[in-house]
Amino acid sequence: MSDVRGTISVDVAFTDSTTVSGAQSLKTITLRDATEYTSGKVAIVTGTVGTSAVTVDVGNLDYRNASGSLVAFGVPFPIRFAFSSSGSQLVECKGGQAFGNAHAALLSKNNSVCVSDNSGSALEIKVLSTAGTASYTLVLYGT
């Protein structure tokens, strides 16, 4: 049996300071979340994408655990996913049909990492410019 352990962390912190007439004003903005996972399933999908969308069918991934056994995600499909793309091309990762007309989309370039929740069974990845390619990594976590 596979033993999954992982953490998805987001830590955003900015300070904005200004001095006017000898008085300093400081504004601090923080967003933080860290969730540890000690059970469940994880899949890593990597590839290269261009302007034509690549569809990742979460329900039909050929995911194998550390012991080599085939593992399928149960319903609901992965609840968390992290997405990153390399290079200077802006790459979009959006939920498929499960979102209807309101597609949730994450954007990445230059190895920035985006994290979101998803209840859909498919994700579409594509470069948003008129030409070019980029490498991507998608990490899916579910039960």
State the Cα–Cα distance between residues 82 and 125, nearest whole angstrom: 13
The closest alpha carbon to 43, from 68, 62, 20, 30, belongs to 62
Share of the chain above pLDDT 70, in %: 92
Distances (CA, A) of 68 to 1, 90, 100: 10, 34, 35
The topology (CATH level 3) of 40-142 is Jelly Rolls (2.60.120)
Chain CA centroid to CA 3, Å? 22
Q: Which amino acid is at 46?
A: T
Evaluate whether 133 touches 108 at the Cβ level (below 8 Å): no
Terminal alpha carbon distance of the chain: 14
Domain segments of the chain: what residues? 40-142
Between 140 and 59, the more confident residue is 140
The mean pLDDT of the chain is 87
The pLDDT value recorded for residue 94 is: 87
Q: Which tens digit of pLDDT belongs to each residue from 106-128?
A: 899 999 999 988 777 888 999 99
Give the pLDDT band of residue 83 (cuts 50, 70, 90).
Answer: very high
Residue 105 has pLDDT above 90, yes or no: no
